[in-house]
Amino acid sequence: MALSRLEQRIGAHLQVLYPDLDPGELTQACLQAISSPPDAPTPVPHSNLWSQCDCVMITYGDSLRREGEAPLHTLHQFLNRHLADCISTVHILPFFPYSSDDGFSVMDYSSVSPKVGEWEDVSALAEDFTVMGDLVINHCSSRSRWFENFKAGVEPGASFFVQVPGDTDLSAVVRPRTSSLLREVETASGTRHVWCTFSEDQVDLDFRNPEVLLTFLRIIRLYIEKGITWFRLDAVAFLWKEIGTRCINLPQTHQMIRLLRLLIEHREPAATLITETNIPNNENLTYFGNANEAHMIYNFSLPPLLINTLISGNCTHLKNWLMTMPAAQHGTAYFNFIASHDGIGLRPVEGLLTDWEVSNLIQTLQRFGARVSTRTGPDGQPKPYEINVSLFDALKGTVQHGPDPWQVARYLCAHAIMLGLEGIPAIYVHSLVATENDEDRVTHSGHLRSINRHIWQADDLEEKLVGETHHRGVFNALRRLIKLRCAQPAFHPNASQFNLQLGESLFGYWRQSVSGEQSIFAIYNVTDTPQRLNLAELNLLAADLWHDLIRGQDYEDQVAQITLAPYQALWLTDQVPVAEADAAAD
């Protein structure tokens, strides 16, 4: 029987990854594992599965708690009550049973931790929102059944992990941590050394064994059946190991992502793959492939560059970086964020900021309560890896003057910049409500990342969101900005974007909708002093009226000079959709 086009494509990927195996048999095993028919319809290439109305909220399953309720149920209630009109997608960080790293040491990929809820809670959430889940694909917990089986020498697990002789030269391997790369383990077959990229509790899985691939395809099938359609490939850059190489961004890793995308999108046409690769910018961009790998890539350079811009009052590096960023092909998009459960990564600004500028950024944020995590560099010495701090506290002042009265304005400016950029915005739950540094969690957990992993008692947060607090002010302002964005065709994730040259104090870009019916000039004062803007510099098109969406002000004189207050954002458009009036009124 002739092979279908899908079978041929799967077999071609498998032939590269597993040249010693029969690609035909393995192709059928893959299709069976993910439960996809060989004649499944092919998704239309270069189709955008998103619009300007897409906005993601990132959260742990238990970031909000209420006595007597499953945290996932509490989260669902909060979303329906406050965010149903502006958040389309919810990224629930790992909600499985785990042993460390706040979920990223997964013990059982097939069950929901009873501490947060049940699969029914995930499926219920998926009825109202798109759900993005983590595929923690590089490693699993040393307390998992798989690793216990590895030590006992039985399957599944005995052949699931990367192991090398203890005296192997691994000096070329790129490290994201300072811990030992190899962990010595006693097994039924004697002493073995297993590969641990991130910690001794996170043991790397060996995808050179096709049984590991098939196991994860079954896991993906389960997630799809439970309502998850967006998949975050955690730490995927480290997936494939070859001794003598850097063991990061290897060709086999890219081949594996292409294979996963092919299988997943034929199983679920609405499925979306997002690669989490906290690496230098040029390396990160390769995970788009030729629109055949990730649908979206985390825009890791944006957080450190944007924060550096706003605390220094100089947008030069942000502007220069943006000018080098290629437009995402249709069917792909940047996943824009400026805060997450992790820290502010510093590898993504390698080659973009000087060592002195990185040091200055670190020292400034340390004045605002930040901690610094390190990794082992090529010379064996510790190097700064990420800055651990809540975003609200990171923007509490400037390099020159320290803390100042402009914290909220600076904070909202940061989000307005992100919301207007090409790509899909993702906002951490603690950014939405302007959570401060959680010093107590750092003390009690001993982990620096805990500073930005606060757990709110839901009723306490509700009180703050109706009281006279900065939490309420920020929350309402961000909701309004998100809804404004949703009404603008020019803010479609794949709409055209061009940079504006307005000096170092004013940052700006021009967006135009795919069909050309709307233009927006997005301009931001990134300093703590008023800045003059000559509208003639923008070369405004010959519209009779230009309108600032954020403040609701009209501009008829296209050559007037206007003054932007410290950290003021201006979304200047030639067309105001009807929905904008509703968003502005909220």
Domain extent listing, the chain: 496-585
Hunting for tokens 């399957």 — which residue is that?
A: 155
Active site residue 234: yes
Residue 105's pLDDT is 97
Tokens matching residue 369: 């309560």
Task: Give the whole-angstrom CA distance, residue 251 versus residue 289.
Answer: 11
Tokens matching residue 232: 């975050």
Torsion over CA of 367, 368, 374 and 379, rounded to 10 degrees?
Answer: -40
Task: Give the whole-angstrom CA distance, residue 118 versus residue 220.
Answer: 17
Q: What is the pLDDT of residues 9-33, one digit of tens each?
A: 999 999 999 999 999 999 999 999 9
Q: At 44, which amino acid appears?
A: V
**What does the mean pLDDT of the chain come to?**
95
User: How far from 267 is each of 28, 260, 293, CA to CA, in Å?
Assistant: 14, 11, 16
Lowest mean pLDDT among 90-99, 243-252, 545-554: 545-554
Residue 581's pLDDT is 42
Q: What is the pLDDT of residues 248-265, one digit of tens each?
A: 999 999 999 999 999 999
Q: What is the pLDDT of residues 177-192, one digit of tens each?
A: 999 999 999 999 999 9
Q: What is the pLDDT of residues 121-175, one digit of tens each?
A: 999 999 999 999 999 999 999 999 999 999 999 999 999 999 999 999 999 999 9
Percent above pLDDT 90 for the chain: 91
Task: Give the whole-angstrom CA distance, residue 456 versus residue 273.
Answer: 30
Task: Give the whole-angstrom CA distance, residue 309 versus residue 526.
Answer: 7
Q: At 229, which amino acid appears?
A: T
Sheet holding 496-499, edge to edge: 496-499, 506-512, 519-525, 569-573, 546-548, 553-555
The H-or-E segment that residue 345 falls in is strand 344-345
Lowest mean pLDDT among 19-23, 249-253, 318-322, 532-536: 532-536
What are the phi and psi torsion angles at 274 (to 5°)?
-125, 125
Q: Kindly report the pTM of this predicted structure.
A: 0.96
Q: Is the confidence at residue 386, as pLDDT, over 90?
A: yes
Between helix 302-312 and helix 316-324 the angle, nearest 10°, is 150
What are the phi and psi torsion angles at 535 (to 5°)?
-60, -25
Task: Give the whole-angstrom CA distance, residue 568 versus residue 528.
Answer: 10
Q: What is the pLDDT of residues 454-468, one digit of tens each?
A: 999 999 999 999 999
Q: At 344, which amino acid appears?
A: I
Cα first-last separation, the chain? 61
Q: Is the confidence at residue 580, as pLDDT, over 60?
A: no
* Burial call 512-533: b when 16+ CB within 10 Å, e when fewer: bbeeeebbbbbbbbbbbeebeb
Q: Which listed residue (204, 234, 342, 528) is catalytic?
A: 234
What are residue 203's DSSP bridge partners? Answer: 140
Question: What DSSP assignment string belongs to 69-95?
Answer: S-HHHHHHHHHHHHTTTT--EEEE---
Architecture of domain 496-585: Sandwich (2.60)
CA 190, 184, 149, 137 dihedral sign is negative
Residue 537's pLDDT is 86
